[in-house]
Structure 1
Amino acid sequence: MTARPTVTRNEVTPAVNALSPIPSAGVLVEAVLRQARRSPDAIAVAYGDDELTYRQLMARAGRMAAALRGRGLTRGDLVAVCLTPGTDLVTAFLAAVWAGCAYVPLDPAHPRQRRAELLRDCGARLLITHAIATGGGPVHDATEAVSPAALLDQAGDRREPPPSGASPDDIAYICYTSGTTGVPKGVAVPQSAVTHLVTDTDYIDLGPGDRVAQASNPAFDAATFEIWGALCNGARLEGLPKEVVVDPDALAEAIRTRGVSALFLTTALFHLVALERPAAFAPLRTLLVGGEALNPHRARDVLAHPPGALLNVYGPTETTTFAAWHRADRVGADAVSVPIGTPLRRMRAYVLDEFLRETPDGVTGELYLAGPGLAHGYWADPAATAERFVADPTGKGERLYRTGDRARRDADGRIDFRGRGDQQVKIRGFRVEPAEVEAQVARRPDVACAVVTAGRDSSDDIRLTLYVVPAPGAGEDLAERVLARLHETLPGYAVPSAAVVLDRLPLSGNGKVDRAALLPAPDTPATGEPAAPRSPLESALVLLWAELLDVPEVGIHDDFFRLGGHSLTISRLRSLIKQTLRVELPLADMFDTKTVAEQAAALTLREPAPGALTAAAQELLRVTALTDEEVEAELASTERES
């Protein structure tokens, strides 16, 4: 089988399939400029009170692009962007493409070492960041850092860059995903793939009357749909802060008050909101959900108060955000899954067996994708590109992307997702290769070997568990030291929830690690002897934490996030506290109070009346301690009194 030419640092390989005509708006900037000419005074981007009209956005982006060219950057160069969501970030993305460059989004919340690693890998010539003065920006000797304001100052009276000669085949951005070798893989996405995603589409019809939420992490490929979907169609990009997105009540309010019409959420976040505020999405014209398998029960909850359309979308980063979609107008009571549906217009999907033959309907195989949404390949990684981007075995001249996902078609031709075919998992919408985490740990001199497994907790969330065998002389507290280091080098979603030290790893009959024998979660978190609660309130919080995090013991000084918590579980905890203790703590305070002791102190400051919290905590502890028979007796007594 012939592999496609690889993407190198010095060559851009066209990836548009000649069999698949794409819209004429091949270059992204031209598409946005058309909208700016039609409605120059319409709001293009809004993050709270920080707004830019299309006229203002194009003026700022043009000056910034001119400054980039003035610094010697030219067609094909890479510009890293490490900014929090806001108008500066959108301007920087647009300016980089306008200058003929490609942007590389970096997450400011990721560990500094991780960001520096990505800069080294991509070789970006320039980094746009606000963090220069504080020293918080990623540092790499070959990358110069500059702030957005400094770039605008350097533009002088230049209003836009000279023509770059950029074509639809030029790379628009590089998005990093988890890699099995311990090194993330940069997916090089051409401008034509982005215009395919957001213009002349069949799954959504965006226009000047829409307000598209920018709710995703800009380093996550869903931001491609949000940002370019809005700007290329004359819509308004409505920024939603993270603390709003992960809070079902705040999200419902933002959708209503800001007039959001289109919203993408990761499946995990959708499930959270569907449980607590299923009617929150009713004002939307289109709700898109993707990243993991959609729970049919949660879909039915939302369809009882439906948005205009609920779309279950599917697509790896290598196929530019979305490659398939299914409109879920109705989910049957007996449904065990929700299909990912059919390919986007001009995309094609094939379910193939191990011999690359199409499988009959109802038979599971591996999902392959083709069409103008395909990325060029992996940046400077010819081996990985050749492995995943393969020639069509039928000889039609197409490239196919091997997703690694298992799928089958039903009798109506709809595709049903059947899970991963390898060890890769998705955690809160982000792809994670356990092998990458293993590789990070295996580099340590105090670790002989390491294995990472994935399993679901009581809340049906995927969690990673790390098992390590110590090297001679490793010393005490190895698990805690390893996890602490991973928090410094990996994104939070990729850090295992727990670590277990073993004398040896179990082996299967063929001498390989028996991962199935490691799947059960550890009995205790690796944080030492837990400190006991000192009050009824702390005891109640310990109870809530243990139930939510699915751990048997919680100490009052244990870190919520080190025990496996994340932004979604902390939102659930906030709701539990509100329901059981009848006190509401702002979500920002929930993130700031990372231990039971800190949380109890913060709650006490918001106590509605003296003794109210203690009384509520004591009642929670009393009810929790009741036997089933005692609960039935209390319910019967309550019914008689009523």
Structure 2
Amino acid sequence: MNERPDVGRWLTEHHVVMEGDALVCRAPHTALDWTMFEEIIRHPHESDAKQHDACCEPAARHAMTLAQAAPEPIHRRFEVRAQLNPGARAVKFGDDELTYGELDSQADSLAVILQEQGLAPLEVCAVLMPESLAMVRAILAVLKAGGVCLMLDPGEDCAQLAATLRAAGARTVIAQRAYLACLTETDAKVVCCDDDAGGCHAYWPNDCVTDGVSPVSPVCAVCRGGDGDAPTIVFQQHIDVLDRLESMQARAPIGQGDSLLQGAEHAPDEAFWQSLWPLTQGARLVIVPPRERMDLERMRQLIEREHITVMHVNFRG
């Protein structure tokens, strides 16, 4: 009988960082152990606490607080990258791709639409769509408009979505047209925005008004679940998300020339920081279509074709 490969050895040699059930694998795409990659996808395995502690050690030494290092809201980091290198590739989903300049312009346009539809600074705006170009555009647009982003799960039923919106006080929702029927039980104002950016260019932006937004302002609302019609909503500040991104950056530094693969199944709110991490560092985000995520051969081809250097992988025991 063949023994399973040594997961601990692979984790160490390929600089994999584990946080919860997500792996952040930092290795050249040409150096990946495909046997181990297949083992992780098909036979999730639980690592011990010592391996986790060893991976987390660099972050524990990260002493400088982001209140000192990053005095501006989180989306400013993306905007600086877009201004410095607008032609750099920013995000890809399937056959569609946007540069930093294109993504910045589209997010600006959607931010203006949100403001004209009544979204005020520091007000919650929900995003209801699967991982896609549209989702990344929507996240940035909410931040640019000064809003607080609430990621909704497209798999939830209408009643639960309505309860989450009420609990968060969200009066605006950005949704793809395919999910409009899921919002029939809410009075929230809906802004449609699909992958082709249809409707997102109705207005060309002037400067978005974000008065009152600072690093200690809330930037995202997270639904922690709850009983019946009373889900619990937790608010995170810009500085909280920046701290998490800085922690990830300390463990697995990325920058221009890196491509991050977002292909693991995870909670909707995790898509928020997983999307912002590469885009605030000048790297490229590659989102795997759901139909390809469990196909090892397609994943292998995509990783080699797109020169993936960082990836998120589910890792559940």
**TM-score calculated relative to the size of structure 1:** 0.36
SS at match of 2:235: strand
Letter in structure 2 aligned against 1:266: N
Conserved in 1, the CA contact under 8 Å of 2:127 and 2:135? yes
Contact 1:199 1:233 in 2 (8 A): no
Distance apart, 1:98 and its partner CA: 0.8
The 1-side partners of 2:169 and 2:184 are apart by 12
CA contact (8 A) 1:78 1:123 kept: yes
Q: How does 1:166-185 map to 2 (within 5 A)?
A: 166-179=213-226, 183-185=230-232
Match of 1:28 in 2: 74
Structure 2: give runs of 5+ residues left out of the alignment: 1-62
Match of 1:97 in 2: 143
Deviations 1:364-395 (A, max 9, x none): xxxxxxxxxxxxxxxxxxxxxxxxxxxxxxxx
State whether structure 2 residue 266 is matched by structure 1 residue 222.
Answer: no
Letter in 2 for 1:243: R
Greater CA deviation, 214-223 or 245-254? 214-223
Query: For the structure 1 residues 218 and 157, does the alpha-carbon distance in structure 2 shift closer, same or farther, using more than 3 Å as the test?
Result: farther
Please list, as runs of the form range in 1=range in 2, the aligned pairs for 1:124-523 lying within 5 A after superposition: 124-131=170-177, 135-148=180-193, 152-154=200-202, 156-179=203-226, 183-199=230-246, 201-216=249-264, 219-268=267-316
Check conservation: 2:226, 2:232, Cα contact below 8 A: yes
Query: Whose helix fraction is larger, Structure 1's or Structure 2's?
Result: 2
Offset of residue 100 of structure 1: 0.6
Equivalent in the alignment of 2:118: 72
Equivalent pair of 1:199/1:232 in contact (CA under 8 Å): no
Quote the residue 1:107 is aligned against.
153
1: distance between equivalents of 2:184 and 2:168? 13
> How much has 1:95 moved relative to structure 2?
0.5
Which residue number corresponds to residue 311 of structure 1? none
Q: In structure 2, do the counterparts of structure 1 residues 20 and 234 end up closer, same or farther at CA, with 3 Å as the change threshold? A: closer
In structure 1, runs of 5+ residues without a counterpart are 1-18, 269-292, 294-642
Question: Residues 159, 87 of structure 1: CA spacing in aligned structure 2 closer, same or farther, 3 A cutoff?
Answer: farther
Residue of structure 1 equivalent to 2:98:
52
Q: Distance in 1 between matches of 2:79 and 2:201?
A: 23
Which whole-Å deviations, capped at 9, do the CAs of 1:464-493 have from their partners, x for residues lacking one? xxxxxxxxxxxxxxxxxxxxxxxxxxxxxx
Q: Percent identity?
A: 24
Could you tell me how far apart the structure 2 residues matched to 1:52 and 1:169 are?
30
Q: Which amino acid in 1 is paired with 2:221? A: I
Taking the aligned partners of 2:266 and 2:148, their CA distance within structure 1 comes to 15
Structure label with greater radius of gyration: 1
Q: CA deviation at 1:183?
A: 3.9
> In structure 2, the residue corresponding to 1:107 is in which secondary structure?
coil
Displacement, 1:174? 1.3
What is aligned with 2:16?
none
Aligned length: 249
Deviation at 1:217, TM superposition (A): 5.0
Are the aligned partners of 2:157 and 2:182 in contact in 1 as well (CA < 8 Å)?
no
Summarize the Cα distance change of 1:180–1:116 in structure 2 as closer, same or farther, 3 Å threshold: closer
CA contact (8 A) 2:103 2:137 kept: yes
Give the C-alpha shift of residue 209 in structure 1: 1.1
Partners of 1:215 and 1:177 in 2: how far apart? 23
With over 3 angstroms needed to count, the CA separation of the structure-2 counterparts of 1:216 and 1:110, relative to structure 1, is farther
Contact 1:107–1:217 under 8 Å retained in 2: no
Contact 1:127 1:143 in 2 (8 A): yes
Listed one character per residue, the Cα deviations across residues 333-370 of structure 1 (whole Å, up to 9, x for unaligned) are: xxxxxxxxxxxxxxxxxxxxxxxxxxxxxxxxxxxxxx
Q: CA deviation at 1:122?
A: 1.4
Q: CA deviation at 1:27?
A: 0.9
Check 1:41–1:153 CA distance in 2 against 1; reply closer, same or farther (3 A cut).
closer
The 1:151/1:169 distance shift into structure 2, 3 A limit, reads: farther
In structure 2, how many angstroms separate the alpha carbons of the residues matched to 1:205 and 1:138? 40
Q: Return the alpha-carbon distance in structure 2 between the equivalents of residues 136 and 145 of structure 1.
A: 11
Looking at structure 1, the residues matched to 172 and 89 of structure 2 have their Cα atoms a distance apart, in angstroms, of 29
Q: 1:204 to 1:135 in 2, by over 3 A?
A: closer
Q: CA deviation at 1:103?
A: 1.2
Give the drift of 1:266.
2.0
Within 2, Cα distance between the matches of 1:181 and 1:67? 33
* Separation in structure 1 between the aligned mates of residue 88 and residue 298 of structure 2, nearest angstrom: 26
* Partner secondary structure for residue 177 of structure 2: coil
- CA deviation map 1:536-584 (0-9, x unaligned): xxxxxxxxxxxxxxxxxxxxxxxxxxxxxxxxxxxxxxxxxxxxxxxxx
Q: Secondary structure at the match of 1:202?
A: helix
Question: Over aligned residues, Cα RMSD in angstroms?
Answer: 2.4
CA contact (8 A) 1:67 1:151 kept: no
Aligned twin of 2:109: 63
CA distance in 1 between partners of 2:91 and 2:130 (Å): 14
Shift in Å, 1:111? 2.3
CA distance in 2, matches of 1:124, 1:217: 25
Once residues 181 and 104 of structure 1 are traced to their aligned partners in structure 2, the CA distance between those partners, rounded to angstroms, is: 19
Give the aligned partner of residue 167 of structure 2.
Answer: 121
Q: 1:21 to 1:188 in 2, by over 3 A?
A: same
- Aligned partners of 2:287, 2:136: CA distance in 1, in Å? 11
CA contact (8 A) 1:128 1:145 kept: yes
Q: Is the 8 A contact 1:116 1:140 kept in 2?
A: yes
**Deviation (angstroms), 1:20:** 6.4
Structure 1 position 119, deviation (Å): 1.6
Distance 2:177 2:237 in 1: 29
Report the residue type matching 2:238 in the other structure: Q
Deviation at 1:54, TM superposition (A): 0.5
CA contact (8 A) 1:97 1:103 kept: yes
- Contact kept, 8 Å, 2:114 with 2:191, in 1: the verdict is no
Amino acid at match of 1:21: T
Tell me by how many angstroms 1:216 deviates.
4.1
Between the aligned partners of 2:265 and 2:177, the Cα distance in structure 1 is: 18
Aligned-partner SS, 1:62: helix
Deviations 1:164-183 (A, max 9, x none): 33101111111222336774
In 2: Cα distance, 1:162 partner to 1:26 partner: 15
Residue type of the alignment partner of 1:35 = R
